[in-house]
Amino acid sequence: MRIFRIIFRIIFKIILWFFILSIGFTIIYRFIPVPITPLMVIRLYEQAVDEKKELRLYKDWVSMKHISKNVPQAVVAAEDQKFLDHNGFDWEAMKKAWENNKKGKRVKGASTISQQTAKNVFLWPGRNLVRKGLEAYFTFLIETIWSKERIMEVYLNVIEMGEGVYGIEAAAQTNFKKSAAKLNRNESALIAAVLPNPRRWSPARPTPYIQGRQVWILRQMNNINPVGMGI
């Protein structure tokens, strides 16, 4: 019995410290820039073990007031049009994705911007149940502790936007040789268009498919209400 009590205490302490640290970091990141994410570390490791690649980590945190209003409108149009209305989860999209997956159809993922932000800041890439459960937990935390504007600001600063490129400022400088504050509608829509696979596609060299997505995103941007996103 003693061994079970010891194991129980160890498990209890691990769970307790997990909650303390996860809530603590969520509160801290409400106010300060996120210095690095697990994905950035993983990509650096991949670069280090691949002789054909050079180590590259290009990121430059900027506040919402230094990001063109076209950018959040474009990413909401492309990734999560219910961003301002949901509590972190788009249940209708999740149900649709689940039903189509059961039928063997390949459909767009149902992850919201909040879920993507939680995943990028706190977790690693993956689709297993443990990872998805943690993603739901951290999504609940940031939706509870952060404002929608803060979620958008963090999202735009940590998301992968190219090989070794993270955040909108680095993407703007890399692809268009200008700051994020000066991105126009077309450029913002191009950046949003490549987000599903930023290491495969480039806003600076758009394929016909990406140009088609850009046109669709530009149309959708007309329907996006900017109020609540800090613009």
Hey, what domains does the chain have and what are their CATH numbers?
33-221 (1.10.3810.10)
DSSP-assigned letters across all residues of the chain: -HHHHHHHHHHHHHHHHHHHHHHHHHHHTTTS-----HHHHHHHHHHHH-TTS----EE----GGGS-THHHHHHHHHH-TTTTTSSS--HHHHHHHHHHHHTT--------HHHHHHHHHH--S--SHHHHHHHHHHHHHHHHHS-HHHHHHHHHHHSEEETTEESHHHHHHHHHSS-GGG--HHHHHHHHHTTTSTTT--TTS--HHHHHHHHHHHHHHTT---TTTT-
pTM: 0.90
21-74 pLDDT, tens digit per residue, is 999 999 999 999 999 999 999 999 999 998 888 899 999 999 999 999 999 999
Task: Give the mean model confidence (pLDDT) for residues 144-173.
Answer: 97
Is 191 in contact with 160 (CB distance < 8 Å)?
no
Per-residue pLDDT tens for 103-137? 565 555 668 999 999 999 999 988 889 999 999 99
**Confidence label for 227 from pLDDT (cuts 50, 70 and 90):** low
Please state the separation of Cα 204 from the chain's center in Å.
Answer: 21
